[in-house]
């Protein structure tokens, strides 16, 4: 133990704060009275040249760091100093482990706010080509006066090679990634693993491996054993946060997040309803007053989920609305029934609206049917011939009065047969599709008849219906002709269609052919250079290319 008052460089030791595996931590001060943290290697390591060389090397790597959330490393004794030590900025506040012991586990979304803040610090360190490797609650200090979260021991935290010998004194054993326990190469995914364990610890209130035998924990980590899902022990854990933690803490580095951008994207997605523009202010407010901040934040989060769920539910996107409404119900607690009351009221309004719409549709359908029926009746009414006048004579043989008798129009019949299915129009009115054996009762007189079918030439005719007589009419629909267009220079070639040669002066314009199968031959002299049979659809244009 270093006696109070001992000088180390320009710094004076005041008192010992903590004993660790590699270092004992002392509080000290500068010549001007500013507080500093002095880390002194334990006696065994203080005599090991390789350890002291690594300590000096780490100091050179981190002395230039300048980040408001990273404690600055100020001084390291030379290798030949009688008392080796490393001095860093003293960070007031409480470490995260004590904070959780005092305040309890955090709401998942609050823990994610802290994770985003820490992620920004780790991103800065890795931009300086530094792997922290020591992220654990003891190295995360929450300063309630300044409202800041700061990392300590950056570049100083060293996992001992003989970890098994010090396992009983090493705090934060669960925060070691499998590659650290196996003394393998570390990278950014090593720090992301520790961030995942920190989130697990923050949301459940305990580390993932709860074995009493600390050596067994080391073996579990080294054997790539997966952490248990945090959802069971967390406060109203969401599936999104659960998934983020499990992916951060995958034993194999290849299965974890590849980099900081992926983690940040998933965290921001999980906090989609939180305004992250004021992230630093939100974290500062949390550190200063955790209880009041959490209460206000959870209420704000519940309101945001409820508002989003209502919006989707009223837009009939009920599947999408469910997660938001369920989350709002969770955050509201059992005493608040606003979600259930909203769903009941919305469903009741929907039922009333559905009944009203259904009734309106029925009434409108009935009215439309009645109008259609009346319209058809009026449409079929023909102008009757003028009434007959019958003159009667009185007793003296003089005209006495005229008796008006209504004229009764007489009908005739049309028996219509068509060789293929066609759409019938009589006097411009559609009568549907017909084929053959169709008998129509029509008023005597002249009628316009039109027949249409796909691929056919429209057939139009004027027919005369005589009273009490049947007109038998048989129509053969004529297919639309086919156009054959010749592309290229036909000079020197002869073209035959169905064995008939086509004059060369006719090849400049499309050749009209009846629809159906045709044989086309292209000859040069007596030699046939192209021969093809093709089914030509009615009304189409085909191209024959001559090269």
**Taking Cα atoms as reference points, which of 370, 373, 350, 352 lies closest to residue 362?**
370
| pLDDT single digits (tens) 196-213 | 999 999 999 999 987 667
Range 169-195 average pLDDT:
88
Bigger pLDDT: 247 vs 410: 247
Contact (Cβ atoms closer than 8 angstroms) between residue 328 and residue 309: yes
pLDDT given at position 137? 94
- pTM over cut 0.75: no
Instruction: Answer yes or no: is pLDDT of 260 > 50.
Output: yes
The DSSP call for residue 359 is H
Q: Can you tell me the distance from the alpha carbon of 291 to that of 497, in angstroms, rounded to the nearest whole number?
A: 94
Instruction: Answer yes or no: is pLDDT of 180 > 50.
Output: yes
pLDDT given at position 86? 95
Instruction: Answer yes or no: is pLDDT of 399 > 70.
Output: no
Range 132-161 average pLDDT:
85
Range 276-295 average pLDDT:
90
Strand partners, 527: 524
pLDDT given at position 11? 96
Q: Got the DSSP string for 462-482?
A: EEEEPTT-EEEEEE-PPBPPE
| pLDDT single digits (tens) 333-358 | 876 789 888 888 888 877 787 788 88
Model confidence band, residue 101 (pLDDT cutoffs 50, 70, 90): very high
pLDDT given at position 516? 79
Q: Can you tell me the distance from the alpha carbon of 251 to that of 264, in angstroms, rounded to the nearest whole number?
A: 20
Write a three-state SS string for 166-234.
Answer: HCCCCCCHHHCCHHHHCCCCCCHHHHHHHHHHHHHHHHHCCCCCCCCCHHHHHHHHHCCCCCCCHHHCC
Q: Can you tell me the distance from the alpha carbon of 227 to that of 380, in angstroms, rounded to the nearest whole number?
A: 83
Instruction: Answer yes or no: is pLDDT of 166 > 60.
Output: no
Range 484-506 average pLDDT:
75
pLDDT given at position 547? 65
| pLDDT single digits (tens) 458-492 | 999 999 999 989 998 888 888 888 887 877 777 77
> What mean pLDDT, rounded, does the chain reach?
85
Strand partners, 399: 393
Range 405-421 average pLDDT:
76
Three-state DSSP at 147 gives coil
Q: Can you tell me the distance from the alpha carbon of 2 to that of 493, in angstroms, rounded to the nearest whole number?
A: 112
């Amino acid at each position: 133990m270093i006696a109070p008052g001992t000088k180390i460089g320009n710094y004076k030791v005041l008192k010992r704060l903590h004993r660790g595996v590699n270092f004992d931590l002392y509080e000290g001060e500068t010549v001007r009275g500013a507080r500093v943290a002095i880390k002194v290697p334990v006696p065994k390591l203080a005599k090991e040249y390789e350890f002291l060389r690594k300590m000096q090397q780490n100091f050179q790597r981190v002395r230039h760091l300048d980040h408001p959330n990273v404690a600055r490393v100020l001084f390291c004794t030379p290798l030949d100093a009688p008392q080796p030590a490393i001095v860093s900025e003293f960070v007031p506040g409480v470490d995260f482990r004590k904070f959780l012991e005092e305040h309890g586990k955090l709401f998942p979304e609050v823990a994610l706010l802290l994770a985003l803040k820490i992620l920004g610090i780790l991103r800065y360190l890795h931009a300086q080509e530094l792997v922290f490797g020591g992220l654990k609650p003891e190295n995360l200090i929450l300063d309630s006066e300044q409202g800041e979260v700061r990392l300590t021991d950056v570049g100083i935290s060293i996992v001992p090679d003989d970890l098994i010998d010090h396992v009983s004194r090493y705090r934060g054993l669960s925060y070691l990634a499998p590659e650290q326990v196996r003394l393998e190469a570390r990278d950014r995914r090593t720090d992301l693993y520790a961030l995942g364990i920190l989130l697990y610890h923050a949301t459940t209130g305990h580390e993932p491996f709860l074995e009493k035998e600390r050596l067994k924990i080391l073996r579990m980590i080294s054997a790539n054993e997966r952490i248990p899902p945090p959802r069971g022990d967390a406060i109203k854990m969401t599936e999104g946060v659960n998934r983020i933690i499990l992916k951060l803490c995958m034993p194999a580095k290849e299965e974890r997040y590849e980099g900081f951008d992926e983690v940040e994207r998933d965290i921001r997605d999980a906090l989609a309803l939180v305004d992250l523009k004021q992230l630093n202010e939100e974290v500062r407010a949390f550190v200063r007053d955790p209880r009041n901040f959490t209460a206000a934040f959870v209420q704000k989060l519940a309101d945001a989920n409820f508002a989003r769920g209502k919006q989707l539910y009223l837009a009939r996107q009920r599947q999408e609305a469910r997660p938001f409404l369920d989350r709002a119900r969770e955050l509201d607690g059992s005493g608040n029934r606003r979600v259930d009351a909203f769903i009941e009221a919305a469903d009741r309004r929907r039922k009333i609206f559905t009944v009203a719409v259904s009734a309106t549709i029925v009434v409108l359908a009935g009215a439309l049917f009645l109008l259609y029926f009346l319209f058809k009746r009026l449409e079929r009414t023909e102008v009757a011939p003028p009434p007959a006048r019958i003159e009667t004579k009185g007793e003296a043989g003089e005209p006495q009065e005229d008796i008006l008798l209504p004229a009764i129009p007489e009908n005739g019949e049309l028996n219509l047969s068509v060789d293929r299915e066609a759409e019938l129009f009589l006097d411009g009115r559609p009568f549907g599709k017909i084929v053959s054996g169709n008998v129509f009762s029509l008023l005597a007189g002249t009628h316009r008849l039109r027949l249409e079918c796909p691929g056919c030439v429209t057939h139009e005719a004027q027919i005369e219906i005589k009273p009490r007589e049947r007109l038998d009419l048989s129509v053969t629909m004529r297919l639309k002709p086919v156009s054959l267009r010749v592309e290229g220079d036909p000079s020197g070639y002869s073209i035959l269609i169905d064995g008939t040669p086509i004059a060369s002066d006719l090849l400049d314009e499309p050749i009209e052919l009846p629809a159906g199968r045709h044989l086309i031959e292209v000859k040069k002299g007596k030699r046939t250079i192209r021969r093809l049979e093709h089914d030509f659809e009615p009304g189409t244009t085909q191209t024959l290319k001559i090269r």
